[in-house]
Amino acid sequence: MQNFEQFLLDNLPHSKSIHPTYESALRNMLEAGGKRFRPALLLGVVKAYNPLMIESAYHAAYAIELLHTYSLIHDDLPAMDDSPLRRGHPTLHITYDEVTAILVGDALNTYSFEVLSNAPFSDETKVNLISELAKNGGLNGMVLGQAIDCYFENKPLALEDIKVLHTNKTAKLIATALKMGALIVGRENEADKLYNFGIKLGLLFQIQDDILDVTQSSEEAGKLTNNDEEKNSFVTILGLDEALREANLLADELTKSMQSFDESLRRELSPILTKYINRHKN
């Protein structure tokens, strides 16, 4: 991932403009770091099946990180979660202003597809990747999840509806990272299997985030914690003990599912998956 991080820093968005802070605002949250979890999943799949394509795959990994970063910027806005901290740094509407944060989110969203359109893949592969990212990050994916989350604030949902919410808001972008990796290396027969695994992984990721929200400080998490009391989080609805039980059940299921991966895929994905599957236990 060190090489990908350098690729990201070497290809930060830039703009020739009279605007005094636009370019620095575009780069702010990308330079702030982050888990780079979604890029790591995509690159792990590519490395497992065709290591020679890793450098080309950086473009797709960067695109998904751009889209994810836009979602965080908008999620932190006053109209949504109104959070002052992200990735250990002040959020954009705090550092600059709300208008800048909105427009930077818009810019990173669209730039992700520009990056994909210029990636060194066949036209067919590029179209497939753009379609997957748009579908899972857009109106029937992450944006839908955000809409449900905001609309039902202060309106408790049933557990199955919360799973629908977070399947869209969180899990689909994680799942599409795995699927995009498979599409890049021509493993279409593996793509749906990895996507379905990624949906379960994404749900676990969200349950863990909800657990960490009530068990970590803002300094430890790098973002505002204990901020989900009015949201449909797994902890808010289930309580901490039951949320931990749900996380353990999903973690066990995913660990077993990993055993069905072929040797090369298991070798590349196991380190990151084991780390994240078990992070609520630390």
Q: pLDDT (tens digit, 9 = 90+) per residue, 6-41? A: 999 999 999 888 999 999 999 999 999 999 999 999
Whole-number mean pLDDT of the chain? 94
Alpha carbon of residue 98 to chain centroid: 22
For tokens 């888990």, the residue is: 35
More confident of the two residues 269 and 225? 269
* Number of domains forming the structure of the chain: 1
* Domain range enclosing 106: 2-281
Closest CA to 59 of 181, 152, 150, 143: 181
Q: State whether the Cα torsion 135-118-178-220 is positive or negative.
A: negative
pTM over 0.85: yes
Rounded mean pLDDT, 174-182: 98
Closest CA to 215 of 237, 241, 238, 245: 241
Rounded mean pLDDT, 190-198: 97
Rounded mean pLDDT, 219-240: 81
Which CATH number is 87's domain given? 1.10.600.10
**Residue 216: what pLDDT?**
85
Burial-class residue 251 by CB neighbours within 10 Å (0-12, 13-18, 19+): buried
What is the share, in percent, of the chain residues with pLDDT greater than 90? Answer: 89
**Rounded Cα–Cα distance for residues 170 and 166 (Å):** 5
* 171: its two tokens: 């899990």
Q: Which residues pair with 86 in a beta bridge?
A: 89
**Rounded Cα–Cα distance for residues 193 and 282 (Å):** 29
